[in-house]
Amino acid sequence: MYEMLSLNNGLKIALEHIPHVQSISIGIWIKNGSRNESRENNGISHFIEHMLFKGTDKRSAKEIVESIEDIGGQLNAFTGKEATCYYVKVLDSHLDLALDVLSDMLFNSKFDEEEIEKEKSVVLEEISMDEDNPEDVLSNIHYEGLFGKDSIAYPILGTKETVKSFTSDELKQFLKKQYTPENSVLSISGNFNKSEIYNLVNRYFGHWNNSVSHIDYNKPDIVNKNYFVKKDIEQVHLSVALKGFPIGHEDVYTLLMLSNLLGGGSSSILFQKLREELGMCYSIYAYPNSMVNIGNLYIYMGLNKRYVKDALDAIEEEIKKFSNIKLSHEKLFKAKEQMKGNYILGLESTSSRMFANGKAALFLNKINTPEEILSYIEDINHESIERVMKEIFIPGIQNIALVGSDYDLVLNELKDKYEILNYKI
């Protein structure tokens, strides 16, 4: 059973009642991430996420995690470009406690100056770890190559300089401005008492003050620069971007299916061509990423620096051939069945269902039921495939990003096709 409710303060509640399980997953979703930030406070959303675990007026940092872990539950959070989510998974008998802990963190966190200074060291180490990981570096520079100085390109963790600058007052003011019920969703999936759930949620979240209007994002300009970061590593890590669709677009499921065919697994076109036939890489895959009013399709691979030009030529050739492909009814049927199977298997977890419902309610103001999702997949046809091919695959590659040790070699190899800029971190 799926239901969307709202408290009087505007907080949306996305409910999925699953009576045959004994667990429950709860997530409080805030439409706030690095895309809401300025260059000066970049990373503040992620830092606030950390600080909500560092102690409240009635629980220490240790007591926050112990209160959930001592009953066999899980408590965690994540920050993305457009949303922050704090979530708990517990036995259904502990729903009341889970809501109590989440609301306590949200409304009563202390933002103690001493704890802030300690946590700065933790986040600075996290940034250093990010900088040591070539795939993380690649992702960050590719966003900047696509979107330039728009906030959508800001790193989620921020920079070492911005993180060092945060103060308690600054964190509290940002939280007060961005964390509002109007811009939030409480997603609950699992076994609960349907007749009591509204009053229970209202007890913990009904007093939340709604002082700020709805938050929206401007559509970013597309810059399409090609960046290379020099790093002393053996492989070159390569990311290729094509156009994509924003979240909620009618053709996102068609694009997902085509992305799976192109680079979604070991039987995909790119895997079979570049790894199995040409032996150029160990890993290659494609995936779409949909955000508010913008989206892209990415292709990632890690390979020897000697193969970069040949690999890009092969990818371009396969995209060109793929854009003119005519799927047989049998191939289309199999592709849709694969998508359905992957989706249905993901429904086995109350957590995955809570995440899906929360994200849909936050950005689309609705819950997509399994029946609706399967219907969207079933509705993929040759007409929608032709639309996506024309809009996404026929235009081809927008830009590329690379991380590796030999900028001069790559620059020389690609100079006839791409202007490669040396990006200094």
- pLDDT score for 210: 72
pLDDT at 215 over 80: no
Domain-by-domain residue ranges, the chain? 2-205, 226-422
- pLDDT score for 318: 98
Instruction: Please list the active-site residues.
Output: 49
pLDDT, mean over the chain: 95
Summarize pLDDT for 159-211 with one digit per residue, the tens: 999 999 999 999 999 999 999 999 999 999 999 999 999 999 999 999 998 77
- Is the CATH code 3.30.830.10 the one for domain 2-205? yes
- pLDDT score for 209: 86
Percent of the chain with pLDDT over 70: 99
Ramachandran category for residue 15: left, alpha or beta (phi over 0 → left; psi -120 to 50 → alpha)? beta
d(CA 394, CA 242): 10
- pLDDT score for 376: 96
Q: Which CATH class is domain 226-422?
A: alpha beta
Q: What angle do CA 248, 250, 253 make, to 5 degrees?
A: 90
Are both 2-205 and 226-422 of the same fold?
A: yes
Q: What is the mean pLDDT of residues 276-290?
A: 96
In this structure, are residues 42 and 144 in contact, taking their beta carbons and an 8 Å threshold?
A: no
pLDDT at 214 over 70: no
**pLDDT band (50, 70, 90) for residue 411:** very high
- The CB density around residue 221, as the number of other CB atoms within 10 Å, is 11
- pLDDT score for 212: 65
- Give the predicted TM-score (pTM) of the model: 0.95
Q: What is the mean pLDDT of residues 80-93?
A: 98
Summarize pLDDT for 327-361 with one digit per residue, the tens: 999 999 999 999 999 898 888 889 999 999 999 99
Percent of the chain with pLDDT over 90: 95
- Looking only at the bridges linking them, the beta strands covering 294-303 and 281-291 are antiparallel
